[in-house]
Structure 1
Amino acid sequence: MVKPAVAVEELRAWEPPDAAQAALREALVAFCLARPDDACLRECEPGHLTASALVVDAAGENVLLTLHGRFHRWVQLGGHCEPDDASLRAAALREATEESGIAGLEIGEHPLHIDVHPVTCSLGLPSRHLDVRYLVRAPEGARPVISDESADLAWWPLDDLPPDADTVPEMVALYRQNSSRS
């Protein structure tokens, strides 16, 4: 299981793109320090860290989104940390691989974006997801396979995202900003 101390190291190694993301990072670090035993466990009722992936195709022109089976919105791939996840980064890659059915995904070294949002989790209790999101690149010719967690799975052009794509446009903007610097 992702240890909160490991999550703190991952978050502190990341340079947030702006003051708002830096403030969220500090809030997640403080949460982990205050809850050293359960910050990454879905059973942590006040909230818990989750890991997500903005999956971009090899050409960098499309993003893979899932029509979430419970929330009925187009969102990035991701979810809860599991016992075998050594880090948030590992959890994000595992979730992206499981939910996309794509082998050979490559994940960025540091987070791309973080978000905190209210959710009624699988335990049926109101909670918060403290979501750490990574950029993930799919190999050339990748073909996704819908998992049990998705109502649908589709590549969306970066310039034509679905209107209910939650915070995906923010992540796409950060991806483009980072790509233009490379």
Structure 2
Amino acid sequence: MIVDEFLADLKALPASLSRDSYLTFATAGGMNVFEREGGPEHVTASCFVFSPDFERVLLCFHRKGQFWVQFGGHLEPQDASVADAALREAREESGIANLTLRSEAIVDLDRHELHGGFSCAAHWDVGFVALATPDVEIAVSDESEDVRWFPTTALPAAVPDNFPVRLAVVLRGVENEGARSR
């Protein structure tokens, strides 16, 4: 069951206030936390798409939010897991049909409140990583105004306030994972 797998994936993360908040939220809400109509707050899935050298990140300009951000969105009934939802969203929003996740390991937890233009009150976002070459063909979806590669050290001005810090933490985690596997 998706909720059991999600709780196990969260428990595998290092202890933190974010992880513990997600565990409490998911345990209390059960399957409702994965459904858009399950309440004003729910789990969403997102995907940071990097170049293989991690020097560039592919972002979309979110139509409703009016900012550059990683790909992501609500879980759908056909999604077998939160990771599966993240991959589906990244494929749909980037136009990269053969995109695959680097792993199904959670790399980012970001609960954010929503304002103007959104029917939800908050998203409990769960992030994953995928890799693509910068020369891959990309496409803009209906949910975005643009899709573009940026150097990870030179992000556009119009990103959410906490995005640069989140991106740096994701990159550090990927870097540490690479060092452990050598």
Normalising by structure 1, we get a TM-score of 0.87
Q: Aligned partners of 1:29 and 1:148: how far apart in 2?
A: 33
| 3-state SS in 1 of match to 2:166 | helix
Residue 19 (structure 1) aligns with: none
Q: Aligned partners of 2:143 and 2:163: how far apart in 1?
A: 19
Structure 2 residue 110 is matched with structure 1 residue 115: yes
Q: Which has the higher helix share?
A: 2
Work out which of the residue numbers 169, 175, 180 in structure 2 matches 1:180: 175
| 3-state SS in 1 of match to 2:136 | coil
125-134 or 78-87: which moved more? Answer: 125-134
Gaps of 5+ in 2: none
8 Å CA contact 2:107–2:173 kept in 1: the answer is no
Work out which of the residue numbers 9, 14, 32 in structure 2 matches 1:38: 32
Q: Offset of 1:174 from its aligned partner?
A: 2.1
Cα displacement string for residues 128-150 of structure 1 (whole angstroms, at most 9, x for unaligned residues): 10000111111463221111111
Normalising by structure 2, we get a TM-score of 0.87
8 Å CA contact 1:54–1:77 kept in 2: the answer is yes
Compared CA separation, residues 24 and 179, structure 1 to 2 (3 A): closer
Structure 2 residue 132 is matched with structure 1 residue 133: no
8 Å CA contact 2:44–2:75 kept in 1: the answer is yes
Q: Aligned partners of 2:168 and 2:61: how far apart in 1?
A: 21
Cα displacement string for residues 56-81 of structure 1 (whole angstroms, at most 9, x for unaligned residues): 02332111111101111111100000
Amino-acid identity (%): 34
Gaps of 5+ in 1: 17-21
Structure 2 residue 25 is matched with structure 1 residue 26: no
Q: Offset of 1:51 from its aligned partner?
A: 0.3
Cα displacement string for residues 5-43 of structure 1 (whole angstroms, at most 9, x for unaligned residues): 222122122336xxxxx2111111111111113011111
42-51 or 128-137: which moved more? Answer: 42-51
8 Å CA contact 1:48–1:130 kept in 2: the answer is yes
Cα displacement string for residues 79-116 of structure 1 (whole angstroms, at most 9, x for unaligned residues): 00001111111110110011001133231221111111
Q: Aligned partners of 1:121 and 1:83: how far apart in 2?
A: 26
Aligned CA RMSD, in angstroms, stands at 2.1
Structure 2 residue 169 is matched with structure 1 residue 170: no
Q: Aligned partners of 2:119 and 2:156: how far apart in 1?
A: 28
Residue 41 (structure 2) aligns with: 47
> What stretches of structure 1 move > 3 A for 4+ residues in a row?
none
User: How many residues align structurally?
Assistant: 175
8 Å CA contact 1:13–1:110 kept in 2: the answer is no
Compared CA separation, residues 100 and 33, structure 1 to 2 (3 A): same
